[in-house]
Structure formats: structure tokens, C-alpha cells
Structure 1
């Protein structure tokens, strides 16, 4: 996830597909979405939000996601009353945590990253993590995820749409420890439109991602 830091200002994203993380923005030419930059079937009625919560703990056999003490993720609306939808939302949340773990170095081998991502979503996630490494930067601060909606598309496919508030999240130079704080703007808020597919092990892996920075829907 892009924190819009000055330390990363020199980074030029080489991922041309819209199936990337937030810095890529929306791309109407993405073959995985429709002409409006939306993943097919993403439109849905809004779920009733539950109280804020942190990402669910990994169950037995799953890679454990641990983050540095100065990195916090807050997820809102994780309980819908439907066990399948709740499982989708849980794996979607862990996918975001896996990206942060890869960036911060708590998952140096990217085990969780590969566990919760597949296909082009995994390719673009790996590319994004590599660019943070090249910039010698890591994450600090808090990211809040809200307005999370899930729509089931059969037994093994789902669409999850959600917003991310990155106004309290920044980059930090790994060598100096200096935090690159930036002012809060409309681009501090990102709309994610994602597709998840259930693999044979029962894991809901994110396979497609379209992200729109500064989306009106996510503005406070």
C-alpha cells in the first residue's frame, strides 16, 4: 500500500495493469474489469457494519502474520452474520496484513503474501514490495479499512469492495529511521475492488485488484 511518502517520490511504478496496489490507481483498460474499471459483479448492497476490529488471527496451518509494534491495521465491519462471507472478509484482511508484513520485513520470505494472493494480484503485490525494498523504506503508523462489502459469486468466488484510510500511515527510512510524514489529502483514501477465489485448501485468495486513490466514496 502506498503511503505517498517523499522517500518514495522517485519510485516509478512499472506495473501497467490495474491489478496492482493503491499507488497504481484505476486503469479502465484492465482486462479483468469492465470498461468502468470495475470487476464484474462488484455491485452489491451494502452490508451492515460491525464494530471496529483488528484482523482475525490465523488459524492452525496458516502463516502467522506479525507486524512491528509501530504498524497497526484496523478493520471495520468484519461480521455479517454469514459464515462464508465472514471467512472471505477475514482472508481479505489477512491479505492486506501479508503485504505489510512483506514490506516491513516480518515475513522476509513472503510466505503469507503467496498464501493470500494468487495470479496477477500476487505478481503486482510482489512488484510493489520490491519497490519498497529498492527505496530502502518500510511502513509505520496506522491504516484503517472500512465500508467493507462482500458479494458471493457462486461457491468459490467472491467480490470484496472496501476503503482504506492511509492518513495516519507513512513510510520510514530503514537506515535513518526518519518518518516521511505527509499532509492529509483526498489521496489519503483508497477504494479497493477485489476478486477472491477459494482454493482447494479452503483459502480465499485475492486474484484481482483494482484500486482508486482519492475515490469520492471513501472520503471522510
Structure 2
């Protein structure tokens, strides 16, 4: 993984094989193609079908802690609509859990399983396992911005956002060597996420798609 690994960037394992964090949940599409839209995902720009109130949230969410050398920021963190706000919050917690799982080298980290379901859970587990098998972890900071939610029903929504991995890096666990790459167009990734609300009120990740080098995410 060159830049950072956790829904951040790509870690090069060998000359012939490379893992891309953005491959988690549907694959990384070529930046020469249509980077402004991701097939099968809502852009979040259309008028929301969000209900005025969210269902009762009875969940006791896990506490997620990251090491001091891993920093994640999310913009916006909140939304005026309570359902959209809940989706934004749980998506941020999913990303934190994914990072925590990589740091812990634990593909079955309870916090990660808590925020994923179905296809999303399988993809997240496989992604963390790839880092564990490679002996890599993460360091640095990643910024998630332009986060937009489209509520489809009382228990289904989609979310799009951009990831700035220009200051996120991978690190070899045994040696502590930090791998950096030149910041370029591919340092910025567009994500499209599908989430579903479970009976406890948690918006779980069920699918994630990405487009590395997306034009709409460039600075």
C-alpha cells in the first residue's frame, strides 16, 4: 500500500500484485472513465426522500479508539435533517472501525462487524485480512469531505463523499518503515456507499464503490 491503507489508498505488496483500499466494496474504477458518477450509486444531489423524524435508536455503539498517529476528519459532521445526520455519524464510525481493525490486525474486530452487514461485512473483513497478511498498517491523516446523503426509505439510504489521502501513508509493522508516494490526482477518491438501518437503529454499510482520481474530488 503506497499512500495509506484503510479506505485511503493503495499498498504495493509486490511488483505483480497491489491492493487498493478503495477496492474495498466494489473495486476501483479507472480515472480515465467517468469519474464524476459511480455506477449504481446516488450522487446525493437529488432531493432527499428523508422522513422528518428517525426511528428510535436503542443501540449501544462500541467505543472506537485510534492511535495518535492516525487522524480522520469528516466534513460535514452533521446535517440538519436527523436521518441524514444519523447516516453521516454511522458512516464516520464505520470508517473509524475499519481503520481500527487494520491497526489491530483483526479482520473480525467487533466494532467493524457492528457497522457492516452482508456484502459490506465480507468486503471489509477481506480488506483488513489483506493488510494483516501483508504485514502492513496505516499512519498519517485522511480527510473525508463533500459528504452527501440521499434517504431512500425509512431504512435505506445512500451516501457519497470524497477522500483526500495525500497525507495518509502505509507502514511496515516489523520495521516501522513509512511508505510515501507523490501526491497526484489519484490521491483523491470518490466513494459511493449504500447503507441500511437495522432494528437497533444503526445504519450499517452493505455496499461501497469507489473511483480513484475522480474529477469532482480534486482540490
Aligned with 2:10 (options 4, 15, 19)? 4
For 1:167, what is the secondary structure of its paired residue? coil
Structure 1 residue 44, shift from structure 2 partner: 3.1
Counterpart contact for 1:143–1:165, Cα < 8 Å = yes
Note the 1:24-39 alignment, pairs <5 A. Answer: 24-26=27-29, 37-39=38-40
Structure 1 residue 9, shift from structure 2 partner: 5.7
Name 1:219's counterpart in structure 2.
218
Output one character per residue of 1:133-164: Cα deviation in whole Å (capped at 9) or x when no partner. Answer: 11100000000000000010010001100000
Higher relative contact order (CA 8 A, sep 6+): 2
Structure 1 residue 45, shift from structure 2 partner: 2.3
Note the 1:85-164 alignment, pairs <5 A. Answer: 85-105=84-104, 109-164=108-163
Structure 1 residue 170, shift from structure 2 partner: 0.5
For 1:200, what is the secondary structure of its paired residue? coil
Long gaps (5+) in structure 1? 28-35, 48-58
Counterpart contact for 1:137–1:171, Cα < 8 Å = yes
Report the TM-score when normalising by structure 2. Answer: 0.81
Q: Over aligned residues, Cα RMSD in angstroms? A: 2.8
Counterpart contact for 2:12–2:19, Cα < 8 Å = no
| Distance of 1:130 and 1:60 partners within structure 2 | 27
Question: How many corresponding residue pairs?
Answer: 197
Q: 1:108 to 1:196 in 2, by over 3 A?
A: closer
Name 1:43's counterpart in structure 2.
43
Report the TM-score when normalising by structure 1. Answer: 0.80
Q: 1:8 to 1:153 in 2, by over 3 A?
A: farther
Counterpart contact for 2:25–2:208, Cα < 8 Å = no
Counterpart contact for 1:23–1:213, Cα < 8 Å = no
Output one character per residue of 1:162-187: Cα deviation in whole Å (capped at 9) or x when no partner. Answer: 00001100100101101001111111
Structure 1 residue 10, shift from structure 2 partner: 5.5
Structure 1 residue 3, shift from structure 2 partner: 2.7
Structure 1 residue 12, shift from structure 2 partner: 4.4
For 2:165, what is the secondary structure of its paired residue? strand
Name 2:164's counterpart in structure 1.
165
Q: 1:128 to 1:8 in 2, by over 3 A?
A: farther
